[in-house]
């Protein structure tokens, strides 16, 4: 058996004992009468001496059970990279496979590097095959899911559909198991952080394929991992659904963000505004009901002078200069109309900045005229969809606000009413306490239901996502037209 084993070595000499001859070109054993005239080390086989013959017989019949010494880590990686440079990915894979099958140990770091290199070289199938071999040898650690994810990203979905589906199924199973383990408190933090990353990638994959329902299942999975959902994760998902032009998906992300209590940053506001507003233009400043533009769905901002209406409008659209802001009360002296998405017939609507009521450095006659115009607008403008009533959080509900609320209770716009707290950064009390206090006071003033109260801060640039949630019926209804 030892002879047969040695005969199959590719570098074997052509001369063999008795009538067996190894032909390297065909890698087969053939019978032959006599010697083979093939050069070996510059001499033909027929010119060998007796000493050479005896040495060859001794070499062929030796029964050594010694394994070749294992390659060093550096040498193995060097040879592997050399083969990849030569685009011999299969040989590189065989090199590692032979190293493992010969019983030599392969370091975890090297294993991961080999798998990623094979995948990035266009052979995700070989990378996955090496991954499967490693998985059969030991239990998967939490980090192996990121390795599987990296293989999956390099799979050609057109040419390797079966492999794509297999990896996808493995990732989905891993997510479900991980979420279940979390509910049983039997999983470590690092694994849960990786689970969030996998959920994001799966949501992205399905939304790109147009399967919104399946995509949103992984957004809901994130709610069960809320301790590990960051602002960066939310922003990445907002980017994904914005590129896919999925308004429903965007609202799912906003709602998930709210349930997970994730903070916003400047990128969040930019992404939200960019997703819902493709363009915005000033249209007109109306001074009477007769000068109002042709009806479209409208969102109005109302409040006492210098409460921050223009600043809030700028926060919503993420534009510091779309509405003029001033420290002088009463600067807005007309109904300023801004049209959103003018070139998109099914998505356009108006944002309306109303004059401030209450104190302003204008005559009483002018203030009364503003009040009459606001009253007529709220009573007669049937296309008004949402009314944002702004209240200064640092001062609470003022006497002017109470007068306005008393009037509002006599109109038909209560179901469109939202209380918006501005300047929350100047408020010393906890946000939740302030919100609950305003809700209670509005009920006391006569509201027949608990009003949704939205805390905001233009200075700190947060609160816009709640404003967009209030606009959800308008935005989704327009997109469905």
17-41 pLDDT, tens per residue? 434 444 444 444 444 444 344 443 4
Q: What is the dihedral sign for C-alpha 439, 441, 442, 446?
A: positive
pLDDT category at 474 given cuts 50, 70, 90 is: very high
Q: pLDDT digit string (tens) for 299-328? A: 999 999 889 888 899 889 887 667 654 444
Q: pLDDT digit string (tens) for 106-132? A: 888 888 899 999 998 889 999 999 888
Q: pLDDT digit string (tens) for 389-420? A: 999 998 999 999 999 999 999 988 999 999 99
d(CA 286, CA 277): 23
Q: Is the pLDDT of residue 350 over 90?
A: yes
CB contact burial 259-291 (16+ within 10 A = b; e otherwise): ebebebeeebbebbbebbbeebeebeebeeeee
Strands 335-340 and 349-353, how do they pair?
Answer: antiparallel
Strand partners, 353: 301, 336
Is 201 within 8 Å of 195 (Cβ atoms)?
Answer: no
Considering only CA atoms, which of 270, 140, 155, 274 is closest in space to residue 205?
155
Q: pLDDT digit string (tens) for 222-263? A: 999 999 999 999 999 999 999 999 999 999 999 999 999 998
DSSP per-residue codes, 414-440: GGGEEEEEE-GGG--S-HHHHHHHHHH
Give the per-residue pLDDT at 68: 53
Considering only CA atoms, which of 445, 359, 439 is closest in space to residue 405?
445
Give the per-residue pLDDT at 359: 55
Q: What are the residue boundaries of the structural domains of the chain, listed by start? A: 4-62, 135-263, 280-475
d(CA 29, CA 16): 10
Quote the mean pLDDT of the chain: 81
d(CA 418, CA 474): 14
More confident residue, 22 or 380: 380
pTM for the whole thing? Answer: 0.76
Q: Name residues whose C-beta falls within 8 Å of residue 234's C-beta, 6 or more positions apart in sequence.
A: 253, 256, 257, 262, 268
Three-class secondary structure of residue 142 per DSSP: coil
d(CA 478, CA 345): 9
Q: Name residues whose C-beta falls within 8 Å of residue 386's C-beta, 6 or more positions apart in sequence.
A: 298, 299, 300, 416, 418, 470, 471, 474
Strand partners, 308: none
CATH number among 3.50.30.60, 3.40.50.10540, 3.40.50.300, 3.40.47.10, domain 280-475: 3.40.50.300
d(CA 361, CA 314): 24
Give the per-residue pLDDT at 362: 53
pLDDT category at 52 given cuts 50, 70, 90 is: very low
């Amino acid at each position: 058996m030892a002879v047969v084993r040695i005969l199959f070595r590719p570098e074997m000499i052509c001369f063999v004992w008795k009538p067996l001859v190894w032909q390297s070109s065909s890698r087969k054993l053939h019978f032959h009468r006599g010697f083979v005239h093939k050069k070996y080390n510059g001499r033909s086989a027929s010119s060998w001496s007796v000493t050479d013959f005896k040495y060859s017989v001794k070499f062929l019949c030796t029964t050594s059970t010694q394994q070749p010494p294992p390659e060093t880590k550096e040498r193995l990686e060097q040879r592997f990279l050399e083969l990849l440079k030569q685009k011999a990915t299969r040989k590189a894979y065989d090199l590692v496979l032979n190293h493992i099958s010969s019983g030599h140990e392969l370091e975890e770091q090297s294993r991961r590097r080999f798998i990623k290199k094979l995948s990035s070289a266009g052979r995700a199938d070989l990378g996955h095959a090496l991954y499967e071999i490693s998985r059969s040898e030991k239990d998967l650690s939490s980090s192996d899911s990121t390795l599987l994810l990296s293989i999956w990203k390099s799979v050609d979905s057109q040419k390797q559909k079966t492999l794509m589906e297999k990896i996808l199924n493995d990732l989905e199973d891993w997510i479900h198991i991980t979420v279940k383990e979390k509910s049983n408190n039997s999983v470590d933090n690092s694994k849960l952080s990786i689970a969030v990353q996998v959920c994001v990638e799966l949501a992205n994959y399905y939304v790109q394929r147009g399967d919104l329902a399946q995509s949103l299942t992984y957004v809901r999975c994130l709610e069960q991992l809320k301790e590990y959902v960051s602002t960066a994760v939310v922003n990445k998902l907002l980017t994904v659904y914005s590129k896919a032009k999925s308004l429903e998906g965007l609202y799912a992300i906003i709602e998930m963000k709210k349930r997970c209590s994730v903070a916003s940053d400047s990128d969040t506001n930019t992404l939200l505004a960019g997703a819902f507003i493709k363009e915005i233009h000033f249209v007109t400043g109306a001074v009477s009901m007769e000068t109002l533009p042709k009806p479209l769905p409208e969102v109005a901002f109302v409040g006492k002078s210098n409460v921050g209406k223009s600043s809030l409008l700028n926060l919503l659209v993420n534009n510091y200069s779309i509405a003029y802001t001033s420290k002088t009360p009463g600067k807005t002296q007309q109904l300023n109309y801004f049209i959103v998405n003018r070139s998109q017939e099914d998505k356009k609507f108006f944002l309306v900045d109303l004059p401030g009521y209450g104190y302003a450095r204008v005559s009483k006659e002018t203030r009364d005229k503003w009040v009459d115009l606001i009253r007529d607008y709220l009573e007669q403008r049937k296309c008004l969809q949402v009314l944002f009533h702004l209240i200064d959080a640092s001062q609470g509900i003022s006497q002017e606000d109470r007068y306005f609320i008393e009037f509002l209770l006599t109109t038909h716009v209560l179901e469109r009413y939202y209380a918006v707290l501005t300047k929350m950064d100047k408020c010393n009390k906890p946000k939740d306490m302030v919100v609950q206090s305003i809700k209670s006071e509005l009920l006391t003033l006569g509201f027949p239901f608990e009003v949704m109260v939205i805390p905001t801060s233009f200075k700190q640039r947060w609160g816009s996502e709640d404003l967009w949630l209030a606009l959800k019926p308008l935005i989704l209804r327009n997109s469905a037209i």
